[in-house]
Amino acid sequence: MKKFAVFASGNGSNFEAIVTRLKEENWDASVSLLVCDKPQAKVIERAETFHIPSFAFEPKSYENKAAFERAIIEQLRLHDVELIVLAGYMRLIGDTLLQAYGGKIINIHPSLLPAFPGIDAVGQAYRAGVKVAGITVHYVDEGMDTGPIIAQKAIEIDEHDTLETIEQRIHKLEHKWYPIVIKQLLGLNNRGEKA
Ligand code: GRF
């Protein structure tokens, strides 16, 4: 059984979409840990509902990023994690984690990278007046939303779209496609079994 961790900082709708799909399809895999840098975040409640252990920490209570990343690594090893899935984790991954899990960390970003990296990507795209928007799943490197692209999905924006409708459509796309990409990366077939 493949084990992976999800890192999130906020709402956790992607976290929930991933876990729900995994359960519905009975994947030969499990989310063995949620890592969260905001102990009050909604995603922690979601993890509790699914009985998924979480490691919630206050970055401020550590000396520096290397120190809290060492604490994260300890947890990841305890839980036998072989893939790290960032889903709204609002922090750059540092050298310590990259050295330990390089090439095994993926992220989802709500734009067609390399356009609109960083925060408020949907707002950036909306204000730029793009006619095509979308999502990107990519490997994580030391940059902000850089790293090799694994998959992208696009939607067309029409004149009736508002920032809100685009945000909703982007979220829907993420919830559909992130689980599919994760399943492939874990080497599972369409039904979620070992391929
Ligand atoms: C998503 O839009 C994701 O692309 C971005 O952060 C957002 C997280 O949303 N990296 P949620 O917490 O999963 O609802």
pLDDT tens per residue across span 55-93: 999 999 999 999 999 999 999 999 999 999 999 999 999
Atom of ligand 1 nearest to the CA of 43: 12
| Residue 129 · residue 85 · CB < 8 Å | no
Interval between CA 140 and ligand 1 midpoint (Å): 15
- Told to judge if 109 belongs to the known catalytic residues of this protein, a careful annotator would answer yes
Largest CA distance in the chain: 50
For residue 29, the SS3 value is strand
Query: pTM (2 decimals)?
Result: 0.97
- Is 13 assigned a ligand-binding role in the annotation? yes
| Residue 73 · residue 66 · CB < 8 Å | no
Secondary structure (DSSP) of 125-190: HHHHT-SEEEEEEEE--SSSS-S-EEEEEEEE--TT--HHHHHHHHHHHHHHHHHHHHHHHTTB-T
- Is 54 assigned a ligand-binding role in the annotation? no
At residue 191 the predicted structure's pLDDT band, cuts being 50, 70 and 90, is: confident
What number of H helices and E strands is found in the chain? 6, 7
Of the candidates 51, 79, 109, 160, the residue annotated as catalytic is 109
- Residues 27-54 pLDDT 10s: 999 999 999 999 999 999 999 999 999 9
Is the shortest distance between the CB of 184 and ligand 1 below 6 Å?
A: no
Nearest protein Cα to ligand 1, atom 9: 88
